[in-house]
Structure 1
Amino acid sequence: MADKNSSPKIVVLMYHRIDIAETDPWGLCVSPENFEQHLQVLKSEFNVIGTEELLRQISAKRIIRNAVCITFDDGYADNFIHAKPLLQKYNCPATFFITTGLIGQQKQFWWDELGNMLLQTKQLPAFLSFKIVNEIFEHHLSEPLLTTEMRRLHKQWKYHEEPPTDRCELYLKIWERLVVLSYEEIITVMGTLKKWVSADLLEDKRSFPMNDFQLNQLKVDPLFSLGMHTITHPDLSTKKSLSQLKEIDGSKYALEKNYGIKTNMLAYPYGRYNQSTIDVVCRLKIAACFTTDQETVNADTDMKMLGRFQAFNWKGEFFKNQISGWMF
């Protein structure tokens, strides 16, 4: 019997943004310079395949060695501006999972906007009190004025680290409450927070969702494919089955109706799902679903729970070592 550890494995990479941000608590940004180094490594050391080829190999139970697959979540405009030309330059296929209800909106995704407000605004009121659904949330801010040192700490801070400032702690507290809400509830809370901040936010349009023109440009290039990422990016594991069905099926319908794309691939927002989610995707006959579980793909992988590895803002050599560690 063959050693399972010696069987060929595919590493599926997950990117979000190809850009540089003032603050990035979730590590979503990879600079264009480092992303190009990633692609150089992939082309010289590995076999880059598209997600359709990935599914074919799993179905046939014939996995090629050294294979890597590139995916992007959310549908940020910088994917079109920065990632697309580099992927074309190195002839690397990629799949973009699109949050269809936010296409073309002229504002940031809510988690980025929240970070912009709390981590980058120069002066905040010292006291915050507002309603989050049925909860009265209150917080006394110990550091209302953003100092140069705080700005430096915010730029370096990642969510899994101890919050270096009161603002970082506040960001996590509010994020944890918002992530389980409906999109309508999130927008209501964000509107309240904007009034509290009472300052103009510096928004970079590259951090907005892609628009119709950009998605249509991606669609016509055979290197690229588009997949579902729901309508409003909810935590599916906290939603009832009917709500999950509407989010997933609505995303599928929007891609087909508005862009002529018949897709059978989904990436779970936040990588979160439950048995109800699996039941829904089976009912909708979705062929492949991608998680954020750090697991390689092999011939026996359940196609409703395909693992992925997040690529961070690493230099090329470190990136190469990471992939080799995951694969071998």
Structure 2
Amino acid sequence: MLKKNFNVLPLWRLEEQLHIGKVKHKSVYITFDDAYTDNYIYAKPILEKYKCPATFFVPSHFIGKEQLFWWDALEAIILHSPNLPDQLTLLIDNKLHDFFLENERLTNEVKEKQEAWRWFNPPPTKRCELFLKIWELLKPISHNMIVDVIDDLQKWAGYSPILTAENYAMTDVQLKDLASNTLFSYGIHTHTHPALASCSAERQFQEIAVNKKVLIEQSYPVINAIAYPYGNYNDVTIKVASQNGMKMGFSTKREVVNLHSMPLSLGRVQVYNTDGLVLKKELTQLFNLE
């Protein structure tokens, strides 16, 4: 659908267009966040079949680690554990937090509500509400602290998430194989994936700088673009991104890019589980083509 109806271009072309002040009409740039292995297994063959360029934003700390991203582990523990205790006390960033769940059992009704839920909508269950509260508390803290909290949660719930390789970050071998096709490029997504606006200027700089250094040292095809984790950034983020040579910065704002867009605070359109016809209609409306 994208190839038939739009101009699917590599992301580095957008940097050129913003620089010269001429954004190509009906152009689409495909991006993936976090470098999940399922991108390699499922997306890569389809992108190659239709010759669609794409950029993968890679958080370098997680490359090759056989473990779930912490937010997936949190989701599995809170939303998928068969039974959870009524009360929970967590030490997060040296502060104690108490939560009360009222022992919401994982019934079929609860499962259906959770499967239909998107995080930006009001939480339909107590479990979803608890997940959001803990997720917000964990986003800005160090990765080592997050690992400790997830470990405490597993012990509290008496539940270990099911581990599947496609939900890990890609391995170095997979990233190198992906990079062997000139259709694909990599962008910056920080080293450990924190919510940058909650971090000091020094930590923000280091998260971006280390990420860029690791990818370049591995000879990956890196472009000067960053996707801010969780779409979270502030004026300091933009400054340190520029200091690290970034020419484009992407948020999660649902906006199309035009000549009035600020290069380091660009919007993106998230694609949900949908089909080509629905997506075509959505993009047509966003591009004001009707």
Same fold judged by TM-score > 0.5?
Answer: yes
- TM-score for the superposition, normalised by structure 2: 0.95
Residue 21 of structure 1 corresponds to: none
Residue 146 (structure 1) aligned to one of 85, 96, 106: 106
Q: Does 1:54 align with 2:14?
A: yes
Specify the SS of the correspondent of 1:309.
Answer: coil
- The 8 Å contact of residues 179 and 220 in structure 2, kept in 1 or not, is answered as no
Of residues 310-319 and 91-100 in structure 1, the stretch that sits farther from structure 2 once superposed is: 310-319
**Alignment check: 8 A CA contact 2:33 2:58 kept:** yes
> What displacement does 1:152 show?
1.7
2:120 to 160, 182, 199: 160
* Residue identity opposite 2:63 in structure 1: I
Q: Which amino acid is the alignment partner of residue 48 of structure 1?
A: V
Q: Distance in 2 between matches of 1:189 and 1:145?
A: 22
In structure 1, C-alpha distance between the alignment counterparts of 2:87 and 2:21, rounded to whole Å: 59
8 Å contact from structure 1 (residues 58, 300) kept in 2: no
The answer to whether residue 117 in structure 2 is matched with residue 181 in structure 1 is: no
What residue in structure 1 maps to residue 236 of structure 2?
276
Q: Measured at CA, do residues 151 and 260 of structure 1 come closer, stay the same or move farther in structure 2, by a change above 3 Å?
A: closer
| CA deviation profile, 1:24-68 (whole Å, cap 9, x unmatched) | xxxxxxxxxxxxxxxxx1111111111011111222223222111
**Relative contact order, higher structure (CA 8 A, sep 6+):** 1
Match of 1:230 in 2: 190
- Matched residue of 1:259: which SS? coil
Q: How does 1:73-222 map to 2 (within 5 A)?
A: 73-222=33-182
Amino acid at match of 2:73: E
CA contact (8 A) 1:244 1:280 kept: yes
Partner of 1:130, secondary structure, is strand
Matched, 1:266 2:226: yes
| Residues paired across the two proteins, number | 288
Change (3 A) 1:300 1:210: same
Where 2:29 maps in the other structure, the secondary structure is strand
Gaps of 5+ in 2: none
Match in the other structure for 1:319: 279
Conserved? CA contact 2:185–2:222, under 8 Å: no
Q: Could you say what secondary structure the match of 1:305 adopts?
A: coil
**d(CA) in 2 for partners of 1:262 and 1:157?**
35
Residue deviations 1:176-208 (CA, integer Å, cap 9, x gap): 111121222211211111111222321222111
Shift in Å, 1:252: 0.3
Letter of the 2:162 partner, please give it. L
Deviation track 1:131-190 (CA, whole Å, cap 9, x = no partner) reads 122322222322353222222222112223332221111111111111121222211211
Shift of 1:262: 4.2
TM-score scaled by length of structure 1: 0.84
Distance in 1, matches of 2:166 and 2:278, equals 27
Cα-Cα RMSD: 1.5
Q: For 2:89, give the aligned amino acid.
A: S
Letter matched to residue 119 of structure 2: Y
Structure 1: which 5+ residue stretches go unaligned? 1-40
Percent identity between the two aligned chains? 38
